[in-house]
């Protein structure tokens, strides 16, 4: 039986500084823009089986970003100005909560079923109204905060997803974002239940049970699928970086695999999508360094670049495009071997600081899958350089993959 997450408290926010008497144990709630003041968060339970109705949101009170999104970068609005004006795209609909997908430090992710939406086109004086057009029901993923202190993290992620989706090709690389729920302070996302983490775990079990001298040198998910996955994820990272976005927490659990049509002639394939932008940042060439905030930014040591681990405890670690490249390199290393490169949890942090994941992975049980001079090494070697200055950047890495 699923344990329902805690109810969300009533919060009233307004533009301006946070009150001085804000709860000292949790970060203050991020002030909303005046355009969002028309909708006030209400006390509403998001437990299993609840129905959430955001369909009454007035179009006039919807996000200022929607005006910008109708123009988009193609209209000539400078990207930095576009980002500075972003407020979360708002969701207007009704959904019924189902089971829990997973839980994290900041949020609980539910699967939900959206109620059927009906749209009636406006009639002109010379034509009768058209028949109602129904949008089919669809499954959603609802990322809801676990407590009031999670609100700033969730809203920041909503802003980043809104900004990225101003670009028409965003859905090719990142999970589809339907909007921000004002009633529950939640993210409304496309439901994609399969992660690279679970897919790799299943592939490792299958590869181990069917090990032969012919397959022991291939990635556990298969050489063709691994290569295709690497190309897609590297292209996706180049896309994020071209939009000035540092993901900040790339790992197999934050990559969703959307099924693609398959046939008997071709094995089942997936389109990888980046998800969980709670540790992300949008940075421009003249942006000041943004150190990781341990209170609001998550890192996963096994996938974190060594320069970040060296400075994290001191409070001076800064996520960069180069640290993203390293994290994706380790992620693809795990997709090849099916296991973390650094052994047990007791030694993982200390060994990860050394920044030599491929060397450690070769000493593991699946080391034969990353032979020197082989496919995995050719693709990942430059991404895993210990010195961030020596790492390949995402755009150059994409070009290397295109030429392979």
pLDDT digits (tens, 9 = 90+) for 30-68: 333 333 333 323 333 344 467 887 776 554 445 555 555
How confident is the model over 168-173, as a mean pLDDT? 94
| pLDDT score of 25 more than 80 | no
pLDDT digits (tens, 9 = 90+) for 203-218: 999 999 988 888 899 9
% residues pLDDT > 70 (the chain): 74
- Residue spans of beta strands (DSSP E) within 313-395: none
Asked which of 36-50, 80-94, 127-141, 302-316 is least confident by mean pLDDT, the reply is: 36-50
DSSP helix, strand, coil percent of the chain (3-state; round to 5): 35, 15, 45
The predicted pLDDT at position 292 comes to 79
How confident is the model over 81-98, as a mean pLDDT? 93
Give CA torsion, residues 303, 304, 305, 310, to 10 deg.
-140
The predicted pLDDT at position 315 comes to 73
pLDDT digits (tens, 9 = 90+) for 257-298: 999 876 554 555 899 999 999 999 999 998 888 787 776 677
352 falls in which pLDDT band (50, 70, 90)?
A: confident
Buried b (16+ CB within 10 A) or exposed e, 77-92: eebeebbeebbbbbbb
pTM: 0.81
The predicted pLDDT at position 44 comes to 37
The predicted pLDDT at position 115 comes to 87
140 falls in which pLDDT band (50, 70, 90)?
A: very high
Instruction: Residue 122: count other Cβ atoms within 10 Å of its Cβ.
Output: 7
Asked if residues 255 and 217 have their Cβ atoms less than 8 Å apart, the reply is: no
Burial of 333 (0-12, 13-18, 19+ CB in 10 A): buried
| pLDDT score of 106 more than 90 | no
Whole-angstrom distance, CA of residue 376 vs CA of residue 353: 22
């Amino acid at each position: 039986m699923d344990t329902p997450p805690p109810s969300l408290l009533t919060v009233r926010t307004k533009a301006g500084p946070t009150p001085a008497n804000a709860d000292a144990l949790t970060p203050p709630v991020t002030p909303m823009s005046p355009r969002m003041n028309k909708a006030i968060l209400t006390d509403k339970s998001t437990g299993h089986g609840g129905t959430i109705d955001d369909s009454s949101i007035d179009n006039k009170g919807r996000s200022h970003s929607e005006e910008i999104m109708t123009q988009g970068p193609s209209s000539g609005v400078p990207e930095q100005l576009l980002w500075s004006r972003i407020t979360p795209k708002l969701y207007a609909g009704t959904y019924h909560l189902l089971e829990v997908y997973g839980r994290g430090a900041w949020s609980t992710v539910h699967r939900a079923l959206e109620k059927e939406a009906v749209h009636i086109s406006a009639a002109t004086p010379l034509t009768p109204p058209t028949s109602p057009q129904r949008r089919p029901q669809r499954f959603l993923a609802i990322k809801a905060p676990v407590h009031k202190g999670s609100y700033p993290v969730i809203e920041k992620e909503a802003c980043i997803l809104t900004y990225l989706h101003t670009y028409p090709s965003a859905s090719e690389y990142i999970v589809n974002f339907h909007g921000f729920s004002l009633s529950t302070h939640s993210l409304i996302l496309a439901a994609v239940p399969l992660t690279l983490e679970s897919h790799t775990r299943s592939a490792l079990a299958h590869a181990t049970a069917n090990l032969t001298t012919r397959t022991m040198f291939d990635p556990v998910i298969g050489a063709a699928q691994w290569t295709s996955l690497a190309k897609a994820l590297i292209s996706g990272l180049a896309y994020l970086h071209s939009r000035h976005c540092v993901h900040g927490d790339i790992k197999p659990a934050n990559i969703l695999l959307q099924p693609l049509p398959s046939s008997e002639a071709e094995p089942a394939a997936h389109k990888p999508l980046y998800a969980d932008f709670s540790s992300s940042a949008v940075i421009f060439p003249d942006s000041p360094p943004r150190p990781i905030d341990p209170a609001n930014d998550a890192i996963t040591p096994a996938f974190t670049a060594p320069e970040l681990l060296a400075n994290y405890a001191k409070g001076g670690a800064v996520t960069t495009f180069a640290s993203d490249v390293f994290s994706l390199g380790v992620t693809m290393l795990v997709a090849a071997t099916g296991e973390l490169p650094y052994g047990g949890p007791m030694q993982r942090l200390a060994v990860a600081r050394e920044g030599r994941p491929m060397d450690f992975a070769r000493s593991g049980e699946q080391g034969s899958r990353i032979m020197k001079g082989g496919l995995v090494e050719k693709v990942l070697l430059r991404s895993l350089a210990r010195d961030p200055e020596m790492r390949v950047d995402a755009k150059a890495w994409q070009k290397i993959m295109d030429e392979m």
